[in-house]
Amino acid sequence: MSEHNFWSTAAEIARAYARRDLSPVELVAQVLERAEHLQPHLNFLVLIDREGALDAARASEERWRRREPLSPFDGVPTSIKDTTPLKGWPTRYGSRATDDTPAAEDAAISGRIRAAGMPIIGKSTTPEFGWKALTDSPLQGTTRSPWDPGHSPGGSSGGASSMTASGVCPFNHGNDGGGSIRIPAAHTGLVGLKPSFGRIPQYPADSPFADVISQGVLARSVLDTAMVLNLTAGPDPRDWRSLPAEGCDYTIGLDGGVRGWRIGLSLDFGHVEADPEVRVLVETAARRFEALGAHVDDVGPLIEPLQKDFAPLWSGSFGVRLRQIPTQLHSKLDPGFRALAEQGLAVTLADYARAYEAKSRLARDMALWHQTYDLLLAPVTPTAAPPVETLYNSEAFSRWTKGAPYTLPFNLTGQPAASMPAGLTASGLPVGLQIVGPARADHRVLQAMRAYESALGWTWPQPKVLESLGRLSA
């Protein structure tokens, strides 16, 4: 198999399957070999299921031979983040306080990926209970970026971003409760859509963050992202929050452009201090929309600082998680997670209620703002990918000022939001442009993503990644 296939999009792979120019068994075997080769260097997988993935590939190959694929992506390999149940496999959440008990059933998204015929090569790494926007954990150790192994691929879907950006699979599953798809996508130059809350069912909904989490994938193309949404969106009776089916194909109208759209740009929301390089790259990226025929306005201050209203929601929810862990296992926890969760034990019901009132106000304010603007553009993060040794939620790298100040608002409001590559810093690390749409307007965000992608000309493999991976293989 040629090196090109490692960097092909899922749509390209599917067309090759249909022409019988490529074998699912051959591709999956080569992807597994690549994953096993890079795993010691980048540490992006918790589990690898070689036999299960090859069995699924053989079944896919037979379906393609009969011209009866289960979906357009039948036989396209992917992975599931290890915060998400996959029947027969443990769900460890990056924690030594969990065990190897196999999941009794699939999560909604895991089941839909299986039903589409996609071989699942393994489960990807996450920080403990997905608590931070970096990916290291007591259970698995440190996950690294293929752009520069000294830097984090972001989090909490960092295993997924590291794999996708290193050519292991064309896309990998992630989820986003505060930026956990968009942040790693920004740090590794990927396409990362957080769909509208409820667009993809959240089952099981046993996380204390269940009403802010969206499921999705980290990909290398907008078309792949839209096609995966076709396969995974839609209601599930087990999730009362899931949205009704829109009855649409998200790829139709994808190339409709943004001419005449009114777009707002906020580089700081009025209070976030982004690195100068990030500001320049994001503003330059935003101006591409003017060349595409949109009207881009600098809208200035937009969202109040989040910490005062929403710190109780964050720490309190992890406090709930801590209460579920036997006391004798607390010493096994990530010290940063444990300290945060212990703070959450002091959060009162009144604190929690006030946070939910503020959440409702923010959603109202953004809905009113979108009466004027079709989209909002902003940075995804204030910095490029930090070094792997960064201490998250420390004085030097606070969640509220450095971690997720640009992304968290749109988990609280449930709006669709995406990261697209904005360019590289002088040190060669990617920066992300965030594209935010009105409530439930996933199709609008995807259309804007595609217009921007066509103008940007960002292609894979990226030379800096090839150079970095070459050093790992030397």
Catalytic site residue 394?
A: no
pLDDT of residue 308: 94
Looking at every residue in the chain, the average pLDDT score rounds to 97
pLDDT band at 5 (very low <50, low <70, confident <90, very high): confident
- For residues 468 and 42, give the distance between their C-alpha atoms in angstroms, rounded to a whole number: 11
Catalytic site residue 137?
A: no
Catalytic site residue 132?
A: no
- The mean per-residue pLDDT over the stretch 147-171 comes to 98
- The mean per-residue pLDDT over the stretch 323-350 comes to 97
- For residues 453 and 433, give the distance between their C-alpha atoms in angstroms, rounded to a whole number: 11
Contact 453, 222 (CB under 8 A): yes
Q: Which residue among 180, 242, 419, 468 is the active-site one?
A: 180
* CA atoms within 13 Å, Cβ hemisphere of 358: 18
Provide the domain count of the chain.
1
* CA atoms within 13 Å, Cβ hemisphere of 337: 30
Flag whether pLDDT at 341 surpasses 80: yes
pLDDT band at 1 (very low <50, low <70, confident <90, very high): very low
Contact 176, 408 (CB under 8 A): no
Cis link prior to 145 (omega < 30° from 0)? no
**Residue numbers of the domain that contains 62:** 4-473
What ranges in 43-137 are assigned the alpha helix state H? 50-65, 108-115
Residue type, 210: A
Q: Which residue among 23, 60, 81, 132 is the active-site one?
A: 81
Q: Which residue among 60, 152, 156, 162 is the active-site one?
A: 156
130: alpha, beta or left? (left if phi > 0; alpha if psi -120 to 50): left
CATH number of the domain to which 29 belongs: 3.90.1300.10
Token pair for 467 = 């150079």
- For residues 2 and 330, give the distance between their C-alpha atoms in angstroms, rounded to a whole number: 48
Cut 0.85: pTM above it: yes
pLDDT band at 249 (very low <50, low <70, confident <90, very high): very high
Flag whether pLDDT at 474 surpasses 80: no
Look at residues 155, 140, 146 and name the one whose alpha carbon lies nearest to residue 37: 146
Flag whether pLDDT at 2 surpasses 60: no
- Per residue in 261-290, pLDDT (tens digit) is 999 999 999 999 999 999 999 999 999 999
Look at residues 130, 41, 134, 127 and name the one whose alpha carbon lies nearest to residue 383: 134
